[in-house]
Amino acid sequence: MAVNTAWPGYCKVGLALNLENRLRQMNTNCPHRDYSFFTVREFDDRKQAETVLHGLLDGYRLPGTEWFSIHPEEAAGLLWAVARRNAPAEGPGCDGPEPH
């Protein structure tokens, strides 16, 4: 989930194979290079997780984009709810602590 300080209250929710490359791509056309990741989560099936999360966020979507008019903390809570639902039985299956 990416954010930019120029647009508070908005976040970009998408998938990426390589986070460094994705961040570099987002910042290519941004003179201040101020995109950053708010939270990141790895999934076994990232496309399915993205579909579920986009469905949960659909009412907040800016039409035709992966941008959502929702505070990043709220969107992150939904992301982690999807992660918990998809976690394997033997452990949390997360790549880091849940967001604050």
Is the residue at 97 inside a domain? no
What Å distances lie between residue 22 and 14, 38, 62, 84, 91, CA to CA?
10, 14, 20, 25, 28
Max Cα distance, the chain (Å): 45
Helix H or strand E segment including 4: strand 2-4
Q: Which residue has the higher pLDDT, 92 or 5?
A: 5
Cα–Cα distances (Å) from 37 to 3, 14, 72, in that order, read 6, 11, 10
Closest residue by Cα to residue 20 from 2, 47, 44, 46 = 2
94 belongs to a structural domain: no
In a domain, 95, yes or no: no
Q: Is 99 contained in some domain?
A: no
Residue 92: inside a domain: no
Q: Is 38 inside a domain boundary?
A: yes
Q: Is 14 domain-assigned?
A: yes
Give the count of beta carbons closer than 10 Å to the beta carbon of residue 18. 9
- Which pLDDT tens digit goes with each residue over 9-50? 999 999 999 999 999 999 998 999 999 999 999 999 999 999
Domain hosting residue 33, numbered range:
2-86
pLDDT tens by residue, 48-78: 999 999 999 999 999 999 999 999 999 999 9
Q: How many domains does the chain have?
A: 1
CA gap 94, 31 in Å, rounded = 33
Q: How far apart are the first and last CA of the chain?
A: 14
